[in-house]
Structure formats: C-alpha cells, structure tokens
Amino acid sequence: MDMAKLKTQALWSLIIAGSLLALFSCGDLPEETSSKSLSSLSLSPSSASLKTGQSVTFACSASYSDGSSALVKPTWTLSGAVGAITVIGYSCSFSATQEGSGTVNAAYGGLSASAAVTVSVEVAPGLATIEVSPAVYTGRVSGSVVFSAAGKSVSAEAMTISPVWALSGDPVGVLSASGTTATLEIKAEGSATVACSSGEVTGYAYVTIEGFVIEITVEADTYVDESNPGVTHGSDTSLKAGYVSLTGKHYETYLRFPLALIPVGASIEAAVLRIYPSSAGSSSLQLKRLDSAFSSATTWETRPTVGIFLLAGTFSAGAYNELGGDPLLTLVREWVAGTRTNRGVAIVQEGTTDGTAVILSLDNGSNFPLLRLEYTR
C-alpha cells in the first residue's frame, strides 16, 4: 500500500472518531450505553402558578446510573384544559389561558415526569372591593329581588368587573345573572348568601326570608254618587272617590276583600291596600273602616256607615298606588281574629277640597283592587 492511501485511511479514522465523540458528548444521550443506563427524569420548574395570559418554560433533565445528567428532548403533553404548550428545541413553553389546574408531562426512554400548573384569573388592576346592593335583604316568600354589583379601587374609584354570581346556603330561590345585576326569584323560607366575584375579589349580600306574601283580589266593590243619589254602580268597570267643587257633590268608593285564602293560624305582619287609578286629582283622599255592609245595589241613599279614619294619601294615574300602615294592619288582624266583622273599607273625601280619583274595579277584568298581606306561620 502506498503512502498516499495510508494517509487517506488515517484521515477518515480521525473524522469518524470525532463524530462519535460529538454524538456522545451532546445533551440528548442514548438511553443506555455499555457503562450506564437511564435512571430517572425530572422537570424544571417542578410546578408553576400563573395568571391567565402568563407563560412559563419547562426543561427535562435525564439522570443516569453513573451519576451523570443531561437535558433531553422528550415527548411533551398537557393534561387539563388550562392552556397550551409549544415545543422549542429542548424546552417546552406553557401559556395559561383558562382558570384551573393541569399537568405538563414529559416522556423519554420509557420513563416520565410531570409538573403541576395552577392558573388563576387576572384581577383587574387596582380592583379592591365589590359592593353588592342591597347588602342585606329581609323579605317574604313572594316575587323577586334584584341585586347589583359595583367594583371599587382602593381609592373608591369605580372599576370595571367581570362578575360571576353564586347563591349558597338554604335553597331560598333561583338566582339568574345578567352582567352586574342578578335577580333572586324567592321560593322558600331560609337564609342564604349571594356572592359576586371578579377574579380574586368577592362581594356578598345576605338574604333572610321569613314568612309569606299573599295578594287577595277584591270580592265586592262599588261607588255611590251624591249627584245621582238613587243610581247603583255595582257593575261599573271603574270606581270614583272624591269631591267635585263645581257641583258641590261627593263620590265614595267601597271595597271588601275575602279572608278565606289566609292560612289558619297565620300571623299577619303587614297589610297594604293596592288600587289602580286611571285618573287622579292632586287632593288627598282618606281610607276609612266600614261599620255596616254594602252590596252591588247600594246607592247614595242607602250607603253604609263609614267608621274611623285609617290612612290618607294622594294618588297618581297609570300605576298601582299603595296605602299601608298600622291602622290597616290592626283592622285586618281584627277581621282574621273574628273580633270585628269584615264589612270592608271606604275611600272618601272628608272635606270640600276639589279632586277625585277614578279607580279600576273588579269588573274591569285587570288591575283591580288588591289587599297585599305579609304573614308568618
């Protein structure tokens, strides 16, 4: 063999040896060699806590039986719908997108390692408190109540929030949310808490439901007209009460409500008369007790005896108006207890101040007079 061929073979030997040296000195080592084997994997960092929108980079290190270690390129996976991973070379980048918990996993050479990731919602900068209004609500089993939430900074400035509403405690009703408001449909007695959260900040309202509400529809109503003393109005679709200065004559309205719908043993806690005027003057009218009976055939000439004064108020047209207070509550309690006969109430004008109210009657078919009672058992 000539000298040139020997030099060529020596050169190729050096190239191959150098290639093997480079291969076995890089980070991604074979799983086993004649002198060492893969013993474990670990991730760095071993866990991470992030806000939505943040990211963290993980690396996987292999440990070998001879005590050496090196970075490797594993197969990366993510458990839990809290974000996404992107593999770049030896590293894996995790980006947090959804609140919750998950796991970044690495598999290599038949072994695996994992790192727990916890993601929380980024709080609006400066958000310190959430005020829920009303903060305290005490009511009866009937209707609904609307809560509203407002975010405040440390300096009490208004802050935008992304509210999440929840109801806990006794099952007093059904809570439905719409942005910064939530409506509680009240269904049962009990105590509950309404919570509104945005990120890590939460505001509360405390609800107590004790007792019930019932609205009783008028069972008999009519009015009498001093200008037409012999005319009946028992089937009219509206009622009149007040005084007309032009004629110098009065109108009086009479109402009676049934009590059979009130549960036996109920304790009446509040009473409110609700009437719906289609037109109303500016003068104050009076609510009085009736001390004798009326009927659909009652006229001015046969009108019942009007008793003691209960309440007074002015009315507005196009909506329900309410008259309520202790005198009416006392009268209803007497009716329920049987210590006074239920003959109803009258709406009158005591003096000669001009003004009348035209009130929708039972025969109108809607918006008729109601007696709203709150009671406990």
What mean pLDDT comes out for the span 26-50?
74
Instruction: State the virtual CA torsion across 131, 137, 143, 146 in degrees, nearest 10.
Output: -10
Q: For 54-75, how does the pLDDT look when each residue is reduced to its tens digit (9 = 90+)?
A: 999 999 999 999 989 889 999 9
Res 188 pLDDT > 80: yes
Domains 38-120 and 127-211 fall in the same CATH topology? yes
136-141 vs 100-108, strand pairing mode: unpaired
Res 90 pLDDT > 60: yes
Res 228 pLDDT > 90: yes
Rg over alpha carbons for the chain, rounded to the nearest Å, is: 41
**Per-residue pLDDT, 53:** 87
Q: For 264-309, how does the pLDDT look when each residue is reduced to its tens digit (9 = 90+)?
A: 999 999 999 999 999 999 889 999 999 999 999 999 999 999 999 9
**Ordered DSSP codes for 283-336:** S-EEEEEESS---TT--STTPPPEEEEEEEE---TTS-EEEESHHHHHHHHHHH
Asked if 357 contacts 255 with a C-beta cutoff of 8 angstroms, the reply is: no
Instruction: Please give the Cα distance from 207 to 284 (Å, whole number).
Output: 37
Asked if 256 contacts 294 with a C-beta cutoff of 8 angstroms, the reply is: yes
- Above pLDDT 90, what percent of the chain? 82
**Per-residue pLDDT, 14:** 39
Q: What pLDDT band is residue 253 in, cutting at 50, 70 and 90?
A: very high
**Per-residue pLDDT, 24:** 36
Whole-prediction pTM: 0.61
In the predicted model, what is the mean pLDDT of the chain?
90
Q: What pLDDT band is residue 121 in, cutting at 50, 70 and 90?
A: confident
Q: CB under 8 Å to 329, separation ≥6 — which residues?
A: 268, 269, 270, 271
**Per-residue pLDDT, 313:** 94
**Per-residue pLDDT, 155:** 85
**Per-residue pLDDT, 124:** 57
CATH 2.60.120.10 describes domain 127-211: no
**Per-residue pLDDT, 41:** 94
Residue with tokens 């980024």: 122
Res 218 pLDDT > 90: yes
Q: What pLDDT band is residue 5 in, cutting at 50, 70 and 90?
A: very low
Q: For 304-356, how does the pLDDT look when each residue is reduced to its tens digit (9 = 90+)?
A: 999 999 999 999 999 999 999 999 999 999 999 999 999 999 999 988 999 99
What are the sequence ranges of the domains in the chain?
Answer: 38-120, 127-211, 218-376
CATH number, span 38-120 = 2.60.40.1080
Res 3 pLDDT > 50: no
